[in-house]
Copies of this chain bind each other. A is one copy, B any other.
């Protein structure tokens, strides 16, 4: 099959595909807010209907939360691919910071680039449509796809995909495939595609340290009563040594050293601390001593206190000794680190720092393991070749520091390896006002997917 007619079709149909994206964005499918349940469901139904027009056997499926859209376009004897994305979007407040209405998408000029405006224009409606429009062009031009394709587009990604793992388990037979494609990540830069080779896992814990059974007057009790803020500060401080190494016992079990070859590739990216951190007003990379910036960004585990509070936090002075203090602490995990073991060791470590007269309570949130893409798979090689053909440059193969826990569930429940390819850019403002998606990402992204699908089917 020659890909050229399909690419020409993508080019020719760009305006029509844009109109379909605008229509998809128009649904305020804020899945996390039940006030939008009707719109969220309408969005799912719209999507299923659209899939049917492309010849998919598509259904809107119930979960305990928002529905999942499932579509199959099976071809016996062909490699079976499961495409994953989400149709729910983040809330839009503060609304007054939006220059254009968040659900009336259009193309505007921004800093010399053409961009698609609106909530979900990138995350993830734009990325989902980038893939589906590639399929549509291919079907229109060649009459079929060269692969057996199932799509699963969920409505709760922005609220933690709570109901998707049970859905996977209940429908494992139906959803089994050879490979999973995920289109929810980004490019290295506006001209260089990226294949995301790993995702960090996550462990999130809340700690409550309690001392006196009420807030105390520091004149009466200063110097005699335990101050839970002091104890909590000691705990947060005791998470790292002076070289930035994490001190939770056995924490580094399952962390692997990166090979020299891979490290050299990262060095070749030429990313400087000043370039990476300069965008947020910083200059010098913190964290573990003796590790390179790119290594720290995605191949090393971390521990961060994400929130701390206790005592008087209003204006002026109040001489109080708090009865309790709280902190939220999260770990990003890599390679084979086990969140269950780390949670256990973390809690024991914290408990060892609680003096008599004080107590600690933990609130645990769901942990997830890191995800590693198989490095030497034929599918990965095909995707590399396809992306290079489209963009004229070798794609960057690099992990991301973030976490997409559901990808771990694909592996665990369905035994599926994932290929994470996306066309978002660092300045897309996903989750913020004025989210956008470059028209070039949408256009060349479709062409990229067409090439990848053709390669996977060959």
Encode A276-307 as 1/0 by CB contact (under 8 A) with B: 11001111111110000100110011101111
Interface centre among A224, A297, A305 (most CB of B within 10 A): A224
Task: Tell me if A385 is interfacial: C-beta within 8 Å of chain B.
Answer: no
Q: Which residues of B contact A240 (CB under 8 A)?
A: 230
Docked pose: A225 CA to B400 CA in angstroms: 15
Docked pose: A204 CA to B316 CA in angstroms: 10
Q: Is the CB of A300 within 8 A of B219?
A: no
Q: Which residues of B contact A439 (CB under 8 A)?
A: none
**Residue on B with the closest CB to A227?**
B304
Task: Tell me if A308 is interfacial: C-beta within 8 Å of chain B.
Answer: yes
**Residue on B with the closest CB to A331?**
B222
Q: Is the CB of B321 within 8 A of A306?
A: yes
Docked pose: A237 CA to B233 CA in angstroms: 6
A424 nearest CB across to chain B (Å): 12
A223 touches which of B307, B309, B401 (Cβ 8 Å): B401
Encode A325-358 as 1/0 by CB contact (under 8 A) with B: 1111010100000000000000000000001110
Q: Is the CB of A285 within 8 A of B237?
A: no
A226 touches which of B202, B282, B320, B400 (Cβ 8 Å): B282
Q: Is the CB of A221 within 8 A of B308?
A: no
Given A237-B234, A302-B218, A305-B233, A225 and B280 contact (CB-CB distance below 8 Å): yes
Docked pose: A117 CA to B317 CA in angstroms: 28
Task: Tell me if A21 is interfacial: C-beta within 8 Å of chain B.
Answer: no
Docked pose: A230 CA to B286 CA in angstroms: 11
Q: Is the CB of A204 within 8 A of B286?
A: no
Q: Is the CB of B286 within 8 A of A224?
A: yes
Q: Is the CB of B401 within 8 A of A317?
A: no
A204-219 contacts to B (CB < 8 Å): 204, 211-214, 216-219
Given A233-B236, A233-B305, A332 and B222 contact (CB-CB distance below 8 Å): yes
Q: Which residues of B contact A297 (CB under 8 A)?
A: 220, 223-224
Q: Which residues of B contact A222 (CB under 8 A)?
A: 302, 304, 330, 332, 401
Docked pose: A236 CA to B302 CA in angstroms: 22
Docked pose: A218 CA to B214 CA in angstroms: 34
A59-109 contacts to B (CB < 8 Å): none
Docked pose: A283 CA to B356 CA in angstroms: 9
Q: Is the CB of A220 within 8 A of B308?
A: no
**Residue on B with the closest CB to A280?**
B212
A221 nearest CB across to chain B (Å): 7
Task: Tell me if A318 is interfacial: C-beta within 8 Å of chain B.
Answer: yes
Q: Which residues of B contact A306 (CB under 8 A)?
A: 218, 229, 311-312, 317-322
Task: Tell me if A165 is interfacial: C-beta within 8 Å of chain B.
Answer: no
A281 touches which of B212, B277, B280, B313 (Cβ 8 Å): B212
Given A223-B302, A319-B330, A229 and B308 contact (CB-CB distance below 8 Å): yes
A359 nearest CB across to chain B (Å): 10
Given contacts A218-B304, A224-B276, A224-B285, 4 further A-B contacts (CB under 8 A): A212-B282, A214-B280, A230-B240, A233-B233
**What 10 pairs across the A-B complex have the smallest Cβ distances?**
A219-B402, A213-B281, A307-B311, A233-B236, A222-B302, A307-B312, A223-B302, A233-B233, A212-B280, A223-B287
A/B interface sample: 23 pairs, CB < 8 A: A204-B317, A212-B277, A218-B330, A219-B400, A219-B403, A220-B297, A221-B277, A222-B304, A223-B296, A225-B286, A229-B236, A229-B327, A230-B236, A233-B233, A233-B305, A233-B308, A277-B357, A282-B357, A286-B357, A306-B322, A307-B311, A307-B313, A311-B328
